[in-house]
Amino acid sequence: MEGLEFAPGSTTAYVGFRVPLAPAIPGGKALLVPVTNIDKVVGSGATTVLGTPIELDLGGLSIRDVRKNAANQYLIVAGPWAADDNTDPYALYTWDSNPARTPAKTRDLPTSDPGGCEAVIDVPDLTTPGARAQLLTDNGSTDLYGDGTEARDLAHAEWKESRGTWFTVTG
């Protein structure tokens, strides 16, 4: 699981998956699975009830995060399912929560920076030209200091870092 957000006006939670794609082949669609009773699962430990999975065409990428704003406009961070060196493509998509509609790609995200984009801090009004969103990166597999040590393996917590970067998401 990589993303979790509520469906518009309900207690149904959309759970976004990094793996598998559907079908589970390169170029498959990303999976978003509705949990229709998340309030009861969290509140009393009820058995999870799953809705019909939603397959989203994100150009062969998987879900890294899915968030919405108060107007039920969704922003999806799409990225590779593999956890490699962060040079694979990442992109931002908008979506209106209608399972019959394909999310719209708004921009490719840079892959030359260390760390892969993983989380949306806040979703702006996606009808506003030039709207910007802040994303966080995961730098766990990055050699931040050029010493051959991945950030996740550094001896001191204060040496580990992630960063927030702003991106324009609408034209």
Report pLDDT digits (tens) over 14-28. 999 999 899 988 889
Per-residue pLDDT at 84: 62
Residue given tokens 């009861």 in the structure block: 40
Domain range list for the chain: 3-168
Instruction: Collect all residues with Cβ–Cβ distance below 8 Å to 151 and sequence separation of at least 6.
Output: 139, 140, 141, 142, 143, 144, 159, 160, 161
Classify strands 13-16 and 3-6 as parallel, antiparallel or unpaired: antiparallel
For Cα atoms 16, 19, 24, give the angle at the middle one, nearest 5 degrees: 120
Report pLDDT digits (tens) over 79-116. 988 766 567 789 999 999 999 999 999 999 987 766 67
Residue given tokens 């970067």 in the structure block: 165
Mean per-residue pLDDT, 45-69: 96
